[in-house]
Amino acid sequence: MAKGKVGKTVGSLGDYLKEQRVGARLSLRQLADQAGVSNPYLSQIERGLRKPSAEVLQQIAKALRISAEQLYIRAGILSPDDGVGGSVELAILSDTGLTERQKQSLLDVYASFLALNAADGADDATPAGAETDAEGTAPITTEIDPDSDNRVTNEG
């Protein structure tokens, strides 16, 4: 692995974590013990060399008695704009039935949908769940035929 910084958001996350840790009057070791992570790993997070998972951020936030949401925003997991899907992202991150990899995959898909919708912008006339033909004129709906489990397409 390269020894450079992982990313700008992670660097600011590390600075923020160190600031919170010092403000809470905790040593690096004390915070690592309380958060259930190793001392070297926490040090690497603070220096911007490692990007922690949402689960690790949640453990650190709990140990520091601060909002996990703030750490997610600083780590670039959540958007600072509350109107841009914050509740969906928080729901995904707090779901204990998902693995970290599954959570990240869902967040990536969700972010790509938001970006696609923002880029399209004018597709408000197309009903949810409906597709259009190549010219964008006739709505095409797709249903499942319950008797045969085959997809049935009805054109407009």
- In this structure, are strands 139-145 and 131-132 parallel, antiparallel, or unpaired? antiparallel
pLDDT tens-digit readout, 52-100? 988 899 999 999 998 888 888 888 877 766 544 467 877 887 777 888 7
Domain ranges, residue 39: 11-80
* Residue 50 counted as domain residue: yes
- List strands edge to edge, sheet with 139-145: 131-132, 139-145, 150-155
Same domain, 46 and 94: no
User: Both 76 and 90 in a single domain?
Assistant: no
Residue 39 has pLDDT above 90, yes or no: yes
What does the chain come to in residues?
A: 156
123 has a pLDDT exceeding 60:
no
- Among residues 22, 56, 80, which one ends one of the domains? 80
Residue 140: pLDDT over 60:
no
For the chain, what is the domain count? Answer: 2
> pLDDT over 90 for what percent of the chain?
28
The last residue of a domain, from among 80, 109, 130: 80
On whether both 53 and 26 belong to a single domain, the answer is: yes
Cross-strand partners of 143: 152
Q: How far apart are CA 91 and CA 138, in angstroms?
A: 36
What pLDDT score was predicted for residue 126?
52
Is 80 exceeded by the pLDDT of residue 124? no
For residue 138, the cross-strand partners are none
Based on the fold, state whether residues 35 and 92 are members of the same structural domain: no
Question: How sure is the predictor about 25, in pLDDT bands with cuts at 50, 70 and 90?
Answer: very high
What is the C-alpha separation between 20 and 121, in angstroms, rounded? 40
Claim to verify: residue 29 and residue 55 sit in the same structural domain: yes
Pair 66, 17 in one domain: yes
DSSP secondary structure letter of residue 124: G
Would you say residue 98 lies in a domain?
yes
In the predicted structure, residue 37 carries a pLDDT above the cut 90:
yes
First to last CA, the chain: 54
27 with 61, same domain: the answer is yes
Q: Kindly report the backbone phi and psi dihedral angles of residue 81, in degrees, each rounded to the nearest multiple of 5, phi listed first.
A: -80, 115
